[in-house]
Chains A and B, each alone.
Chain A
Amino acid sequence: GIQVEQSPPDLILQEGANSTLRCNFSDSVNNLQWFHQNPWGQLINLFYIPSGTKQNGRLSATTVATERYSLLYISSSQTTDSGVYFCAVAGNQFYFGTGTSLTVIP
């Protein structure tokens, strides 16, 4: 299967700081998504981004499919950004990374 590695595994930020989360994958994929799992356990779709760059408010994502990585940028972080961020890619099935646990402190 496709290996998906996310870094860093843990991140603690002061409110207002910016951060970059990375997702590396081991093979070509036809889908890449970023999810946010909030402290209540809900998995929320952030971006569907097989390639290119997208922005949604304070969040943006870039996928460079030819180099097999994706980046999630969080700017001006807020406490509500806390949770775990998962990257998932689709080959013959969906493969998930182990996530980046983000804690934003006021």
Chain B
Amino acid sequence: DSGVTQTPKHLITATGQRVTLRCSPRSGDLSVYWYQQSLDQGLQFLIQYYNGEERAKGNILERFSAQQFPDLHSELNLSSLELGDSALYFCASSARLAGGGGTGELFFGEGSRLTVL
């Protein structure tokens, strides 16, 4: 158990719908990262938060948004869903900010598997 909790584990929805994925980082970790992994693909970085503030953006679509709350949990909102959004969405956390003097170890949740029909 990595200590990073993601819900839901599985989600099936229809095109055009909106879903919210939730992540609780490891206790004490201030940085949260979201990644997308499509079938048989690598990990695509979406967005990073540190202590409530957005710190880096990757290839995140405009239909997607995220935030990190004061209690440090994070949510990833996916709207106007398309078939191509079907993927495994991972949340990860680290103690410190990437780019600082050492990030601390990165830990992943078990992922949320989204299927868009």
Interface of B is mostly: loop
> Is the CB–CB distance between A93 and B99 below 8 Å?
yes
> Is the CB–CB distance between B111 and A91 below 8 Å?
no
**Residues on A with beta carbons closer than 8 Å to the beta carbon of B45:** 93-94, 96
Q: How large is the interface on A (under 10, 10 to 19, 20 to 34, 35 or more residues)?
A: 20 to 34
State the CA gap A61–B111 with chains docked (Å). Answer: 26
A93 partner, pick from B48, B105, B107, beta carbons under 8 A: B48
**Residues on A with beta carbons closer than 8 Å to the beta carbon of B106:** 31, 33, 45, 88, 90, 94
Instruction: Give the B interface residue count (CB, 8 A).
Output: 25
**Residues on B with beta carbons closer than 8 Å to the beta carbon of A94:** 33, 45, 92, 98, 103, 106
> Is the CB–CB distance between B98 and A92 below 8 Å?
yes
> Is the CB–CB distance between B108 and A48 below 8 Å?
no
A31 partner, pick from B58, B102, B107, beta carbons under 8 A: B102
**Residues on A with beta carbons closer than 8 Å to the beta carbon of B101:** 30
State the CA gap A45–B93 with chains docked (Å). Answer: 12
**Residues on A with beta carbons closer than 8 Å to the beta carbon of B88:** 41
